[in-house]
Amino acid sequence: MQLNAAVRGQAGALVAFGRACARRLDALTAEYEVLDCTAVPLRTAQRRGAGAMPEVVARGKSGRLGWFVGVRLLLAVTPAGVVTGWGIAPGNEQDRLLADALLAERAAPEQALPSAGRPASGVYLADSGFAGRAARARWAELGADVLAPPQRGSGDRWAKPVRALHRSRRQIVETVFARLHGPFRLERDRPRSLGGLLARIAAKIALSNALIRLNHDAGRPGLTLAGVVM
């Protein structure tokens, strides 16, 4: 209990440390960032009742998990796997609405949510869940150019080679998600308060960025876990 309280009390410092690691890795000079969401289950999907954190926990659907009860975590990640910003929303929130909030916060002169981070080039690669002419126009007003393959029925089309290149460059965010959910145990945590949830996410993202820095200094590939005591 004392450890949990200590972690919650350091949420702001953990966010700042994660951002500092990103700056030390020159993340804000990246050519582009990858924008994507992942489901973070916080309780068993079959369980009834309101449960903890009713202000953010909701029933949603994920391609990876199917139906889940929890939150959605949005990340902005460089081609090297460095997390430059993040935010959460209820599990039933749309990807575009998460992006609205994150990109607006990134463009704000004074940030209310430091976890959003600052943009690199302003170019983002995203999946079709973020596609839409109206959304792209909104984000352009914030200085963000979000490139997402068009959805079926939109009337827009990308050539197959363009889709393949876009998909391959986006793969890094899936690697980062697998790292957070697997070795870093994000999917297995069950915090009971919003403060605890935010602190745990901040800690895992800070750890991921710090390990990339450690690997960089040791001459290892950035996302390597071998040789690191977890």
78-97 pLDDT, tens per residue? 999 999 999 999 999 999 99
Contacts of 195 (CB under 8 A, 6+ apart): 8, 11
Is the pLDDT at 60 greater than 60? The verdict is yes
Supply the pLDDT for residue 156: 85
Work out the pLDDT band at 63, boundaries 50, 70, 90: confident
Cβ-contact 34, 169 below 8 angstroms: yes
- Mean pLDDT, rounded, of the chain: 90
CATH number at residue 81: 3.30.420
User: In this structure, is residue 22 part of a structural domain?
Assistant: no
User: In this structure, is residue 194 part of a structural domain?
Assistant: no
User: In this structure, is residue 10 part of a structural domain?
Assistant: no
User: In this structure, is residue 230 part of a structural domain?
Assistant: no
Supply the pLDDT for residue 152: 81
Between the alpha carbon of residue 216 and those of residues 26, 149, 153, the distances in Å are 12, 33, 44
Work out the pLDDT band at 5, boundaries 50, 70, 90: low
Residues, the chain: 230
Distance CA(102)–CA(86), nearest Å, equals 7
Task: List the one residue out of 119, 39, 107 whose CA is nearest residue 77.
Answer: 119
Distance CA(84)–CA(198), nearest Å, equals 16
Supply the pLDDT for residue 2: 47
How many domains is the chain built from? 1
Q: What is the mean pLDDT of residues 169-186?
A: 95
Q: Which domain range does residue 38 map to? A: 30-188
* Side chain identity at residue 78, one-letter code: T
User: In this structure, is residue 67 part of a structural domain?
Assistant: yes
Is the pLDDT at 8 greater than 90? The verdict is no
User: In this structure, is residue 228 part of a structural domain?
Assistant: no
Distance CA(85)–CA(104), nearest Å, equals 12
Q: What is the mean pLDDT of residues 38-46?
A: 85
Cβ-contact 42, 71 below 8 angstroms: yes
User: In this structure, is residue 208 part of a structural domain?
Assistant: no
User: In this structure, is residue 118 part of a structural domain?
Assistant: yes
